[in-house]
Structure 1
Amino acid sequence: MMSDDLKNVHVFPSVKEAGYAAGRAIEAKILTLQQQKSQIRMIFAAAPSQDFMLEYLTRSEKIQWHKITAFNMDEYVGLAADASQSFSQYLERNLFSKVSIHEKHTISTSGNVLDQIALFSELLESEPIDIVCLGIGENGHLAFNDPPVADFNDPDVIKLVELDLVCRQQQVNDKCFSDLDEVPLTAVTLTIPTLMRGDALFCVVVGPHKKEAVRHALRSPVSTTWPATVLRQHGNCQYFFDDEAYSDVAVIRA
């Protein structure tokens, strides 16, 4: 289903249907790019909301993964490199181990974080980013750009940030951590301008715990109070929601 007044908003009865629809749209974009470019550069979020989208993509028989270079968009500081909660491990489990990707670049925070920031900045700026697959946090964050640190004109490509309480609690709500005390206090994240420079953005947001963030993202004034509002200023961003995530917006529209 498509929203009447937001033609880039797609709403589905279930989490799986929303994820698979996003997967189909991303696949279609990749197939077009495969005809135009020898290499495609993509940035991936790592969160439960992305599960079904990634499942669809890894099952595609049409995507030429040997043409794709992948980046992750954020990573905790303070976790062991092989911790199951790390975003690089999430992408390894759900994507990289299932396809023959050309190159994968994941943020390492086990060594000198500033060195990694410099390296990742260079990698990201070497060529344009074609596709960004992202979600929206309960506090409206994009990657780990929580409201206190979000900057729509950020001069950095990637930066070290402190995570706010709502963001850290979300990681417990998502069952990534069993207790708030286990969630790291800091992380490295791509900045909002870096994400917005992607040519095509595909945003998957599901579940009742995201409905307030979705309502603000689509209806509130564009500001860092709800960072995801800035997505409305991108010329090619598609949203994929399940009914529960979209429910507050649907009430307003009624």
Structure 2
Amino acid sequence: MESVAGQQAVRPVVLSFDTRLEMGRAAATDVATELRSRLARQAGVRMVFAAAVSQSDMLQSLIAEPGIDWRRVTAFHMDEYLDLPADAPQRFGSWLRRAIFDRLPFAAVHLIDPGTDADAAVAAYAASLAAAPIDIVCLGIGVNGHLAFNDPPVADFADPQAVKIVTLDDVCRQQQVDDGAFATIADVPRRAVTLTVPRLLDAGRLFCVVPGAAKREAVERALEGPLDTACPASALRLHPDCRLYLDAESDPRRQD
């Protein structure tokens, strides 16, 4: 069994679906079940969301799930661009507000707002996250294997920080163009704020939704490749309770 600094690796539960829509619905059902379970036994739930088109089907289905008291759910998100205007539609906080945050009565929504002092914003966000345990993280995997904005050059499985400022690599920046957020790679910011890998893995449960052919190689490396920062998503194997949702295009076990 593999390990990193004494941490034993375990294989995520991998669930594969024929379509992206089926994948999103199944993931939403499981997230909703976990939410209901936790809300039945604790005062509130704290969860982190990824902002990406890969999450759209899951989020849409999650909004429709019945029996969740969203007034007891506190929301965070996992990364944000620097050097974009506060009202830029590409800001991840803005994307999540449109996708889910403004559509449900959350107890609180904590947005990463770099403002004029990114270092201060990083410290404040880390403190907000540390105020109580994070129960659930809904995340994806990047084309380069990144988790949040932990690209291979900056990912650290033993990162002492909870939140940090990073420089984005060009594969990550091109993905933002391919996802339709920016017209050209020159428009994509070079810097961002991100939750670190250890901060993400410190949550109670991880629900990782990864559709599309562009992610297939990254998924394969995450599941079968070396456990190292060349593929940051391989760190999912260090979490004891991670579920990975794939569609036919992203699942490397399916024949072309």
* Unpaired runs of at least 5, structure 1: 1-5
Q: Is the 8 A contact 1:218 1:232 kept in 2?
A: yes
CA distance in 1, matches of 2:212, 2:39: 33
Distance change (3 Å), C-alpha of 1:7 and 1:212? closer
Q: Does the alignment pair 1:226 with 2:240?
A: no
Select which of 107, 113, 116 maps to 1:108: 113
- Aligned-CA RMSD value: 1.2
CA distance in 2, matches of 1:239, 1:54: 15
User: Which of structures 1 and 2 has the larger relative contact order (alpha carbons within 8 angstroms, sep 6+)?
Assistant: 2
Match of 2:211 in 1: 206
Q: Is the 8 A contact 1:85 1:176 kept in 2?
A: yes
Match of 2:32 in 1: 27
CA distance in 1, matches of 2:146, 2:101: 25
Select which of 232, 244, 253 maps to 1:249: 253
Deviation at 1:231, TM superposition (A): 0.2
Q: Is the 8 A contact 1:134 1:202 kept in 2?
A: yes
Select which of 137, 140, 151 maps to 1:132: 137
CA distance in 2, matches of 1:249, 1:61: 33
Percent of aligned positions that are identical:
44
Match of 2:175 in 1: 170
Q: Does the alignment pair 1:36 with 2:80?
A: no
Letter in 2 for 1:79: L
Equivalences, count: 246
* Unpaired runs of at least 5, structure 2: 1-10
CA distance in 1, matches of 2:103, 2:140: 22
Q: Does the alignment pair 1:239 with 2:214?
A: no
Pairs within 5 Å for 1:41-190: 41-190=46-195
SS of the aligned residue for 2:75 comes to strand
Deviation at 1:56, TM superposition (A): 1.0
Deviation at 1:172, TM superposition (A): 0.6
Deviation at 1:251, TM superposition (A): 4.7
Letter in 1 for 2:118: V
